[in-house]
Chain A
Amino acid sequence: MATKKFLYVNRKPPHGTIYALESLEVVLIGAAFEQDVTLAFIDDGVYQLLKNQDSSAIGTKNFAPTFRALGDYDVNKIYVERESLEMRGLGKEDLMPLTWEDEDDDWAEKDSIHIVSSTELAEIIEQQDVLLNF
Chain B
Amino acid sequence: MKFSILINEGPYTHQASDSAYHFTEAALRAGHEIVRVFFYHDGVYNGTRLSVPPQDDRNVCERWSALGQEHSLELILCVAAAQRRGLLDEGEARRAGKDSNNIAPGFEISGLGQLIDAGIQADRLVLFGD
Q: Which residues of A contact B (CB under 8 A)?
A: 1-2, 4, 6, 18-19, 22, 25-26, 29-30, 32-33, 35, 129-134
A130-B41 CB under 8 A given contacts A25-B80, A29-B113 = no
**B112 and A25 form a contact (CB under 8 A):** yes
- Residue ID in chain A nearest B115 by CB atoms: A26
For residue B52, CB closer than 8 A to chain A, the reply is no
- Residue ID in chain A nearest B6 by CB atoms: A132
Among A22, A32, A134, point to the contact of B113 (Cβ < 8 A).
A32
**B119 and A4 form a contact (CB under 8 A):** yes
- Residue ID in chain B nearest A26 by CB atoms: B112
- B113: which A residues are within 8 A, CB to CB? 29, 32-33
Question: B20 CB to closest chain A CB, in angstroms?
Answer: 14
Considering the chains assembled together, what is the distance between the CA atoms of A26 and B129 in angstroms?
A: 16
Number of B residues with CB within 8 Å of any CB on chain A: 18
Counting chain A CB atoms within 10 Å of each CB, the highest count among B111, B112, B117 belongs to B112
For residue B64, CB closer than 8 A to chain A, the reply is no
Counting chain A CB atoms within 10 Å of each CB, the highest count among B40, B81, B117, B119 belongs to B119
Considering the chains assembled together, what is the distance between the CA atoms of A26 and B6 in angstroms?
A: 13
Sample of 18 further A-B pairs with CB below 8 A, known A6-B119, A19-B8, A33-B113: A1-B120, A4-B119, A4-B120, A22-B81, A25-B80, A25-B112, A26-B40, A26-B115, A29-B116, A30-B116, A33-B117, A35-B116, A130-B119, A130-B120, A132-B6, A132-B119, A132-B127, A134-B8
- B130: which A residues are within 8 A, CB to CB? 19
Instruction: Kindly supply a per-residue 1/0 record for chain B positions 1-15, scoring 1 wherever the CB is within 8 Å of any chain A CB and 0 otherwise.
Output: 000001010000000
